[in-house]
Amino acid sequence: MNKVEATSSHVIGKTDSEDKSALWADIMALIKVGIINSNLITAFAGFWLALYFTGGILSDYWGKLILMVAGTALLIAGGCILNNYYDRDIDPIMKRTKNRPTVTGSIPLKVILAMGILTSLAGAVLLSFTTMEAALIGAFGWFAYVVLYTMWTKRRYTINTAVGSLSGAVPPVIGWAAVDPSPHAAAFILFLIMFLWQTPHFLALAIKKCKEYKAAGIPMLPAVHGFAITRRQMVIYVACLLPLPFYLFSLGKVFLIIAGLLNAGWLILGISGFFMKNSRKWANLMFVYSLNYLMILFVTMVLVTLPGVVN
């Protein structure tokens, strides 16, 4: 091979690599990998606590755990892909969504629609191999996100955040149902924690991106009614989280102390928003705190019950 051929080969190889990298980035954007990861944490915690409360041992449930994680991930990915497909007309207006493949055209829309449908179906099927209840709960979460949120309330009502919270509250219940399909108070508490957590989390993002939501015509609460009422709503939701950890008192004092401190810290930060002049700076603090809150709370649930589940 002469020098010119070698150079050409190198360029072509680099281009192929870049194409593959770009395709992978597009797929990650379509499935919203950050949303999947955070939801898998709560789904795993639900699975784990179901083992703890029912006296199960992790080593006996590896197969179900793998199916639950894979099924939940695929079902969420499918819902996110369909959300992107439906929102392709408004995504070009918003800075954080304008580079999605549904906007750039890097992946054909027919392919994206097929991906969303097939991925959703695959997720539901995998969950059905754990328990049918887990599959049905997962299907409800998918319906709440794709139909009730994306297609119905997102562009019409300021309660879109609360409606969307239904889907985000489902993963820990999916995890629980994969082990124990019968109703349990602890699974309901996990659902409530996630339902209440999401409104201050997403309203903080809505304050940060208020101008973009206005431009896109999405009636997020701060874009329609302003920052003052949004702050009040956020604080109310955080305050409602305060008693919930005490319903999980059987997890022990360490969990109750950590959960109590997390809730108190978030409430104090929320109240401080009434005195801060820079609403967007406060919203960013609330958003970052919410992410750490979720991680610390659910990881703590797992760690304090570790001896009972692995032995």
Domains defined along the chain, listed by start: 33-310 (1.10.357.140)
Give 198-253 pLDDT, tens digit per residue: 999 999 999 999 999 999 999 999 999 999 999 999 999 999 999 999 999 999 99
Sign of CA dihedral 27, 32, 37, 43: negative
| Nearest of 298, 306, 304, 308 to residue 44 by alpha carbon | 298
Q: Residues 176, 133: contact at Cβ < 8 Å?
A: no
Amino acid 297: pLDDT: 98
**Cα-based distances in Å from 311 to 32, 51, 97, 123, 212:** 36, 11, 46, 30, 51
Phi, psi angles (nearest 5°) of residue 170: -80, -40
Question: Considering only CA atoms, which of 254, 268, 269, 263 is closest in space to residue 302?
Answer: 254
User: What is the number of other CB atoms lying within 10 angstroms of the CB of residue 239?
Assistant: 15
The pLDDT tens digits of the residues spanning 242-281 come to 999 999 999 999 999 999 999 999 999 999 999 999 999 9
Whole-model pTM over 0.85: yes
